[in-house]
Amino acid sequence: MLLTLSPKTLSSSSFFTVHKSQNPKCKSPDSCRFKSLKCSFDRILVKSEVQIERNLEFETGETFFRHESARGRDLGVLSATLYKRSNGSLRVLDAMCGCGIRSLRYLVEAEADFVMANDANDDNRRVITDNLSKVERGTGDERRWVVTHMLANKAMIERYMVADFFDMIDIDSFGSDSSFLRDAFNALRLGGLLYLTSTDGYSSGGHRPYNSLAAYGAFIRPMPFGNEIGLRMLIGGAVREAALLGYHVTPLFSYYSYHGPVFRVMLRVHRGKLHEDRNYGFVTHCNLCGHSHTLRFDELGLMGCPCSDTKASSSLVVSGPMWLGPLHDASYVTEMLELAKEWGWVSEGTGMDLDKLLSIMIEESDPRLPPGYTKMDEMASRAKMNSPPLKKMMSALVKEGYAASRSHIIPNALKTDCPMSHFVRIAKENLHS
Ligand SMILES: C[S@@+](CC[C@H](N)C(=O)[O-])C[C@H]1O[C@@H](n2cnc3c(N)ncnc32)[C@H](O)[C@@H]1O
């Protein structure tokens, strides 16, 4: 019989004593494989944390769990639900499920028909199984969930070898996830969703250019908008890997969270590689004038900075190749926002509200906006003035015919296609008007 616990208190760390014989894995106090369990003569002390997320109660035990990742899980569930609603069925691989909270949410909230909850660490089994037991397991073809303990690559290879494809694969990995990409593309149904996570903040910050080159095929140098570069590098890595297999991907949304930091992108996978992808190339940034622009492969010989200062060539930083197109699909994120409103996931007063986040993502999707953002502080120091209010600056830019948007990555920054010199002039005019 598996160890079962029913904690009486919520969201606090509690200790429970259970009889050793209830735990099939514990042979003796000295050889207990559960790193986290302390066995005494005939009792086990289990540290169990019970959480509530979106009204779902679950336990985390000693698995890796971050409350701060709830927003990323919300976004995954909204996408999964849209998929289920438009395709009629939904089969999910939660490839690194931890305690199984995502699997539980895909089953309950997105009404997934089937979830494979996989985590390489089989010590997590009891917690995952207990959490998923809130949903009837079913049998045979009606089976709604299974728990497996394989390396994520094996879990994907095993399924595609028997032509059993998933509609959605969620890879919530530590570090960089590029080693999972190829198997994930193979194991996904065409038109399916791939939800990728990376916590590799060093690479996106340009501090390990040879690491990013190895993992994503992108040589990344420090740029003032490194966190956006992190998202673009992740999408770019997937674009490249997909092309190798004869597929192409489009980003549905991209989400950066400073807790970690964590970079998440939801991609849709399509058949056929794009022979000429105008959205794949380089980002340049001039540290002298603050101007950023894009450089496609066929423009490499034209490299230079519009500020044409003599010092400019040594101030010009180039990173890539990476994704240059919009970070999100505006109409898709609009559907996500409508669903969030339908479910009442709005104005909850928890950090940045979900509806506000999705609204900013819609703004950021304007295809005229180049990669990067400018912090208002930087603009103010270039213009030698106090920084004007963000909203006032945005409407001034729009009035002059430029695209302008907030950034979901950083609060007091602006994305625009306006060159820095005009930007400073417009700021000065508007601060004094
Ligand atoms: C970031 S945690 C997952 C958190 C979980 N998805 C959530 O939302 O709470 C990563 C998990 O991946 C598991 N893991 C690490 N490497 C793995 C691999 N190669 N294959 C499968 N699971 C792996 C770890 O045991 C850990 O539980």
Q: Which amino acid makes up residue 111?
A: E
C-alpha to C-alpha distance for 149 and 125, rounded to whole angstroms = 8
Closest CA to 237 of 180, 300, 170: 180
Q: What are the b/e assignments for 235-269, b being 16+ CB within 10 Å?
A: bbbbbbbbbeeebbbbbbbbbbbeebbbbbbbbbb
Query: CB of 152 closer than 6 A to ligand 1?
Result: yes
Query: CB of 210 closer than 6 A to ligand 1?
Result: no
Query: CB of 69 closer than 6 A to ligand 1?
Result: yes
Write the CATH number of the domain with boundaries 66-283: 3.40.50.150
- Token readout for 269 is 């996978």
**pLDDT at residue number 176:** 79
Q: Separation of 359 CA from ligand 1 center, angstroms?
A: 30
Position in ligand 1 atom list of the atom nearest CA 121: 25
Q: Are the CB atoms for 269 and 185 separated by under 8 Å?
A: yes
Position in ligand 1 atom list of the atom nearest CA 69: 8
Average pLDDT over residues 203-222: 90
| Residue 311: pLDDT over 60 | no
> How distant is the alpha carbon of residue 267 from its chain centre?
10
Residue-wise pLDDT for 51-67, tens only, equals 999 999 999 999 999 99
For 127, phi then psi, to 5°, come to -65, -45
Residue intervals of the chain classified under CATH 3.40.50.150 are 66-283
Nearest residue (by CA) to ligand 1, atom 4, is: 98
Query: CB of 98 closer than 6 A to ligand 1?
Result: yes
Residue-wise pLDDT for 361-420, tens only, equals 999 999 999 999 999 888 888 888 888 889 999 999 999 999 999 999 999 999 999 988
Position in ligand 1 atom list of the atom nearest CA 199: 1
Residue-wise pLDDT for 139-194, tens only, equals 888 899 999 999 999 999 999 999 999 999 999 998 877 899 999 999 999 999 99
Q: What are the b/e assignments for 38-61, b being 16+ CB within 10 Å?
A: ebeeeebebebbbbebeeeebbbb
| CB neighbours of residue 230 within 10 Å | 29
Q: What fold characterizes domain 325-432?
A: Phenylalanyl-tRNA Synthetase; Chain B, domain 1 (3.30.56)
DSSP 219: B
State the pLDDT confidence band at 312, using cuts at 50, 70 and 90.
low
| Residue 309: pLDDT over 60 | no
C-alpha to C-alpha distance for 359 and 216, rounded to whole angstroms = 29
Residue-wise pLDDT for 242-258, tens only, equals 999 999 999 999 999 98
Tokens 């701060």 -> residue: 68
Residue intervals of the chain classified under CATH 3.30.56.70 are 325-432
Position in ligand 1 atom list of the atom nearest CA 73: 8
DSSP 386: P
Q: Are the CB atoms for 319 and 223 separated by under 8 Å?
A: yes
Q: Are the CB atoms for 267 and 238 separated by under 8 Å?
A: yes
